[in-house]
Structure 1
Amino acid sequence: MLAYDIILLVSLAIYLAVCALYLRHRAASFMHPVSLYLLFHGIVFTFRPFLARYYDFGALYQQFGFQPSMQDKITVLLAANLGMVTFVAVSLFVAREPLAFARDKYDDKHRTMLRKPFLIVAALLTPVALASLAEHWTTRALDSSTMITDLSTGIAINTTGNGWFFTAQLVLVPIVVIFAWLYRFRLWSLIPFGIFFILRAGTGGRGPLIVAAFAIVVLYLTQQRRRWPEWRSALIMVFAAVTFTTLVSDRGAAVREIFTSEQAADTIAYLDTAPYETMDFANQEFFEYVVYAVPQRTGTYDYFLSNLQIFTEPVPRAWWPGKPVGPPIQLFSLFDYGSPLGMTLSLPGAGWYELGWAGVIIQCGAFALLYSLLYRWMIARREDDWSLMTYAVMIAATTITFRDGVLITIARSLPFYLGPIAMMWLLARAFSLPRADMLRQFASENRHLPAPTEGGGSMPLTPAQRRRAMIEAMIEKAAPKRG
């Protein structure tokens, strides 16, 4: 155990050194991909392992039916740190520019103009999302879910319902976030977020709550031109963290009990577990199981074949009775070596699953490249409305993506997190709403002209009237020609 204790201390030293170097970098901010990855890594692979060592965590080893060797445990710590260094290095190489906070009054004007297309999209999608959420409440309260678990893969299968409808509730995440942002985070604009928080908490699902909270913080900090959270945004994150911890124990039963009289007795009692020994924070043990099995017992790696699932996943099982459970090509099953039900791989763990040490570098580097390019795209577009909304939702979703570590997690959520934004964009085009850069260009081209007068008289228009005239002229200029 002495060697393991030394590795723990070295791991802590590496983490603190990377954090210190990152904070000195000019691009460092809460909105940068590195910040959220360091937060994730610090919790599950740096500080929690000390708790595991002190309390001698063992509940998940019994539940999964395996016992990692000391070499397995050391390998996990080393591979996790390799993944962290890879992610940080790639991110800072690609996304090295700081946030410029380049938004101006024309971006603010465009943001106000987006309220109309947003309200139309919200009116179309919210009823479907609420119906999906209500069905989820019912299945949780009455324990009437028709989902079954395939014992050979541990994957939940939708036997009668439609997975698209079941997941439609996720569109509420961008809706409540964008609503608060469009109305400039006035206190009343957070009411939909609060309602969604309560309704989603009643299902026991924690991930979308955290995504919504982090996305709101990202947009709020950008509006306030702040790189790091202050007390208001910190309060939102603390509230989300407390709710997350509470939902770990009862999966939303306490919330449902407030609104319903009939519910399943699904409160989970963690009587024999130490602090933070639950599965919600157990990526270390999950990674140890992967190292325990792959390739020592499987004899092979997956070689990234699991990514083929993104092509089969969108097809409903009702349309494809023979649809594969999980990836269409599987070289082995982790369930042949234990019972890892509910396991999530984590980003470095998924890399090991795919190709060992090289896989850790490839997986962490690829995800770092993805989010860094998204960050650069936002910077290049001067943090305009479309890039900012897209980036805020995508970077907030990394709180789930880093935990799962696989491409299919992004593919599953993408239509629901970005769909409302895409619909807003289409409506804005249909209404010929001028973009912020068009407004900016129009103002620049006409700044030398004298102030217009009312009806040709000598009374000049007020500044507000001139701005309105400019907007109307820009809309007319941008409108498609007819006939």
Structure 2
Amino acid sequence: MIEMALIAQVLVLVLVTAVFHSTGSASMFHPLTLYLIFHALVFVMRPILVHTQNFDDVWLFMGFWPSEQQFVMTLMVSSVGLVAFAAACAWAGMIRPDWTPNGEPAPSFAFDRVDIVAFLTTAALLGPLAIYSAIQRQGGASFDGTGDVQMERDPLTGQPIYTNTTGYIAEAHSMGLPLTLGLIWICRFHPLSFLPFAGFVAYRAYLGWGRWAIIMGILGLVLLMLYRTRTKWFRLWHALAAVPVLGLFTLLGNNRDAFRDVLAGDAPPSVLLRFNGGSGGGRAIDALAGQDLANFDFLAYILWVVPKQSATYTWFTQYLQLFTEPIPRILWPGKPVGAPVKWVDLNDYGVFYNLTTSLPGDGWMSAGWIGMIVTMVVVGLILGRLHRWFWTDGFRNRYAVLFYCAFLPLCLQWFRDGNITIVKFGFFSLLPILLWIALTRVLRAWGILEDDPLRPVVAPPNLVRREPS
């Protein structure tokens, strides 16, 4: 029974991909492309490996083992979610990527002095905060009351919360990603402009945590490079370059302190080649047995809990956290951890600490089949509409291109986590870009730097030469 369901799961993915490609709107700039990749990894490849390779580490951690019927049910829910998201996203984003609409090629952007001054001002305002945050976080977060960044686990939810600082400071180092991407963009891919970006990736590798920032940062950079070359799909060398990146992602997942230990002399450099996280005697494929791609396992647990064990749904109340999360805990010591209203707590029935619900799981918790379909359709419509805007107007605007290429990779985090995490990650990942855009508009509106020699000169209407009648 499971084998037939796995085959059907693959066929659904192939069918949706074929229909999407036949619409002519498919490209690496389409959010549906990213969801198809995400679905293929966590809801197609993962259950196949769980069934054939006996991956049971996550089941042991959660204290839950699905029956054959529950396994098949999880596959069905994920496939229905895929179809709902794909239909909404493809319909709302139905536009053919065209670099030369109406015969006019996409502009080759040049940045004038206003752009440069506004970006340098943005970097001067936010850069020191990002660097300060990075220095604080270089030792990680401690739970024993020592260190620059201290945390404790909430006894009810198990979620870590900051005790001696605020997330606005502790997570500000994430702004290094948009700042370094913006530098590459405004320098028009000058080789030296890649150095700060490489430094950010190296810092993230040293830190160990926040590995998704590496994936999203590199994906955003590749999207900018695809735009520069007017290419809709990855090239072969992009795929080859992704192999060591995925290896780094897996390595840090199995050993967060790998680079830290090597640089400190506590481990030999050969530890960087042990992707299975063990002593070298395990199977190489066991590197995929962890929690990184285990959203299928998490979804199976959610379907078991809600509503049979919980006797209720969340009824979308988890989104009330949008109103409480922005308030620093330092100003509100009694702020609820997570959503202010909790109809369902997954930790009441097993261990779900620091695990992610995924977008389909978050929708299922809201209202079962209806909640899952509504969630997938609404998110699909939002992202599809954003894709349509990009190919209608955005790709002609030098600010919009950077914004879109920085935002699109964040969707992977949205698909993986569900809930409101897209807002929290988006705040730090897009704030420098939005501030840069705002400063350029202010400078131009106030007429500052009007003597910019790089700006094209346009004669006022009253000075335009009139031909004699």
The amino acid of 1:422's aligned partner reads L
Residue 288 of structure 2 aligns to a residue whose secondary structure is coil
Could you say if the C-alpha distance between residues 141 and 319 of structure 1 is closer, same or farther in structure 2, counting changes exceeding 3 Å? closer
1:225 counterpart = 2:225:
no
1:244 counterpart = 2:249:
yes
Aligned counterpart in structure 1 of residue 87 of structure 2, from 79, 86, 89? 89
**In the TM superposition, what is the alpha-carbon distance from 1:475 to its structure 2 partner?**
11
**In the TM superposition, what is the alpha-carbon distance from 1:123 to its structure 2 partner?**
2.5
Aligned to 2:153: 149
1:166 counterpart = 2:170:
yes
Aligned to 1:350: 362
Could you say if the C-alpha distance between residues 236 and 429 of structure 1 is closer, same or farther in structure 2, counting changes exceeding 3 Å? farther
Whether the 8 Å contact between 1:149 and 1:157 is mirrored in structure 2 is: yes
Could you say if the C-alpha distance between residues 111 and 347 of structure 1 is closer, same or farther in structure 2, counting changes exceeding 3 Å? farther
The amino acid of 2:374's aligned partner reads I
Whether the 8 Å contact between 2:250 and 2:287 is mirrored in structure 1 is: no
Could you say if the C-alpha distance between residues 220 and 14 of structure 1 is closer, same or farther in structure 2, counting changes exceeding 3 Å? same
Whether the 8 Å contact between 1:11 and 1:46 is mirrored in structure 2 is: yes
Could you say if the C-alpha distance between residues 340 and 382 of structure 1 is closer, same or farther in structure 2, counting changes exceeding 3 Å? closer
Residue 327 of structure 1 aligns to a residue whose secondary structure is coil
Mean Cα deviation higher: 383-392 or 31-40: 383-392
Deviations 1:366-388 (A, max 9, x none): 11112112112222324112222
Whether the 8 Å contact between 1:219 and 1:392 is mirrored in structure 2 is: yes
Aligned to 1:411: 423
Aligned to 1:392: 405
1:287 counterpart = 2:285:
no
Mean Cα deviation higher: 137-146 or 234-243: 137-146
- CA distance, structure 1, for counterparts of residue 156 and residue 459 of structure 2: 61
**In the TM superposition, what is the alpha-carbon distance from 1:259 to its structure 2 partner?**
4.7
Aligned to 1:208: 213
**In the TM superposition, what is the alpha-carbon distance from 1:111 to its structure 2 partner?**
7.2
**TM-score scaled by length of structure 1:** 0.84
**In the TM superposition, what is the alpha-carbon distance from 1:109 to its structure 2 partner?**
2.6
**In the TM superposition, what is the alpha-carbon distance from 1:130 to its structure 2 partner?**
1.5
- CA distance, structure 2, for counterparts of residue 470 and residue 176 of structure 1: 25
Mean Cα deviation higher: 183-192 or 313-322: 183-192
The amino acid of 1:128's aligned partner reads L
Aligned to 1:429: 441
**TM-score scaled by length of structure 2:** 0.87
- CA distance, structure 2, for counterparts of residue 328 and residue 428 of structure 1: 38
Residue 234 of structure 2 aligns to a residue whose secondary structure is coil
Whether the 8 Å contact between 2:63 and 2:350 is mirrored in structure 1 is: yes
Aligned to 1:375: 387
**In the TM superposition, what is the alpha-carbon distance from 1:166 to its structure 2 partner?**
0.7
**In the TM superposition, what is the alpha-carbon distance from 1:42 to its structure 2 partner?**
0.1
Aligned to 2:197: 193
Residue 68 of structure 1 aligns to a residue whose secondary structure is coil
The amino acid of 2:49's aligned partner reads L
Aligned to 1:9: 7
1:44-83 equivalent positions in 2, closer than 5 A = 44-83=42-81
Residue 330 of structure 1 aligns to a residue whose secondary structure is coil
Aligned to 1:471: 456
Aligned to 1:306: 318
**In the TM superposition, what is the alpha-carbon distance from 1:10 to its structure 2 partner?**
0.6
- CA distance, structure 2, for counterparts of residue 297 and residue 362 of structure 1: 23
Aligned to 1:439: none
The amino acid of 2:212's aligned partner reads G
- CA distance, structure 2, for counterparts of residue 104 and residue 423 of structure 1: 29
1:335 counterpart = 2:347:
yes
Whether the 8 Å contact between 1:147 and 1:159 is mirrored in structure 2 is: yes
Aligned to 1:123: 124
Could you say if the C-alpha distance between residues 95 and 249 of structure 1 is closer, same or farther in structure 2, counting changes exceeding 3 Å? same
Aligned to 1:402: 415
Mean Cα deviation higher: 56-65 or 281-290: 56-65
- CA distance, structure 1, for counterparts of residue 178 and residue 105 of structure 2: 23
Whether the 8 Å contact between 2:180 and 2:197 is mirrored in structure 1 is: yes
Aligned to 2:20: 22
**In the TM superposition, what is the alpha-carbon distance from 1:110 to its structure 2 partner?**
4.4
Measured on the aligned residues, the alpha-carbon RMSD in Å equals: 2.8
Aligned counterpart in structure 1 of residue 378 of structure 2, from 366, 371, 374? 366
- CA distance, structure 1, for counterparts of residue 141 and residue 454 of structure 2: 55
The amino acid of 2:162's aligned partner reads N
Could you say if the C-alpha distance between residues 55 and 427 of structure 1 is closer, same or farther in structure 2, counting changes exceeding 3 Å? same
- CA distance, structure 1, for counterparts of residue 159 and residue 140 of structure 2: 18
- CA distance, structure 2, for counterparts of residue 27 and residue 96 of structure 1: 6
Whether the 8 Å contact between 2:151 and 2:160 is mirrored in structure 1 is: yes
Whether the 8 Å contact between 1:141 and 1:256 is mirrored in structure 2 is: no
Could you say if the C-alpha distance between residues 189 and 239 of structure 1 is closer, same or farther in structure 2, counting changes exceeding 3 Å? farther
Could you say if the C-alpha distance between residues 430 and 54 of structure 1 is closer, same or farther in structure 2, counting changes exceeding 3 Å? same
Residue 157 of structure 1 aligns to a residue whose secondary structure is strand
